[in-house]
Amino acid sequence: MPVIRGRTVPSIPGGMAPFIDQRQYAPATDRNRESICTVLKENLPATGTALEIASGTGQHAVFFAEQLAPRTWLPSDPNPIARDSIRSWRAIAALNNLHEPLELDVTQSQWPQVVIDWQQQMGEPVPVIRAIVNINMIHISPWAACEGLFSGASQLLSTGDVLYLYGPFKRAGQHTAPSNAAFDQSLQLQNSTWGVRDLEAVCEVAQSAGFALREVIPMPANNFSVVFHKV
C-alpha cells in the first residue's frame, strides 16, 4: 500500500518557490526495481522514449529514467493522485529525460490518441515511442485493460519495438507458487474482475494485436518479466 507523504518542503532543487510534496511510497517498488531495470537494459531499444503505463507512485519512473538514459521516460496513470505523486518525484529528481505524466486509461479506446497528441505538442524533434512498459497492472484491473494495452500499443509501436510486462502469471492455467494462488484469491475477493492472469491467454491477446513473445524471465518473489516485440 503506497504511503502518502504530503508535506511542504522549502523548495525543489534549483527551484524558487515552496511546493507540496505529494510523493507516495510503495516499498515493493524499491525491492523490485533493480531486477526489472536489468531486464529493461537488455531488452529496450537503445534510444527513443519508453511509455510507462500505470506508473503508480512514480518511483519506478524516476529510477528507470536515471538508469536508462539516454532513453527518455514517459510516465502515465489514470489516477490523479498517482499523477501528483509522479510530479513530485519528478520535481525532486530534476531529470532532463523524465517527462510529465500523461492521463491514460488503457480501457478507453482513444488512449493512443492522447499519446499522439502529446508527441505533436512536443514539437521537433518528435519523441518516438520505442517501448511500452507495464508493471503490476493487468492482475489488478479488468481483462479489458490487458486487451486495451495491446490494442493501443499496436497503434503506437513499430516493427521491432518492445512491450514489457512484469508481475505474477499462471503458466498453463496453474499457479507457479502457493503464495500466488493466495494472492489471486485475495484479488478476486476485492474485485471479481481482477486476478492473476494465465500467461498463455495474455500471449493470445498479444498475438492478435501483432506482437510476438520474445522471452519469459523468472524474477524474484514468484514474478515474471515478459518481453514482446512488434512484428
pLDDT attached to residue 15: 55
pLDDT attached to residue 124: 87
pLDDT attached to residue 16: 58
Amino acid at 196: V
- For the chain, strand residue ranges (E) read 3-4, 7-9, 19-21, 24-25, 49-53, 72-74, 129-135, 162-167, 169-170, 197-198, 211-219, 223-230
pTM greater than 0.85 (yes/no): yes
pLDDT attached to residue 80: 98
Tell me how many domains the chain contains: 1
Q: Which residues of the chain have pLDDT under 70?
A: 1-17
Write the CB contacts of 59 (distance below 8 Å, at least 6 apart in sequence).
25, 26, 29, 30, 33, 89
Q: Which neighbouring-strand residues pair with 174?
A: 171
**By three-state DSSP, how is residue 196 classified?**
coil
Q: How far apart, in whole angstroms, are the C-alpha atoms of residue 208 and residue 149?
A: 12
pLDDT attached to residue 188: 97
Q: How far apart, in whole angstroms, are the C-alpha atoms of residue 59 and residue 121?
A: 26
Distance of CA 190 to the CA centre of its chain: 22
Give 112: exposed, middle or buried? Use CB within 10 Å, 0-12, 13-18, 19+.
buried
**Selection from 103, 99, 114 nearest residue 81 by Cα:** 103
- Element housing 59 (H / E): helix 59-67
Residue 32 domain boundaries: 3-230
Q: Residue 211 sits in a domain of what CATH number?
A: 3.40.50.150
pLDDT attached to residue 19: 76
pLDDT attached to residue 86: 98
Q: How far apart, in whole angstroms, are the C-alpha atoms of residue 49 and residue 14?
A: 25
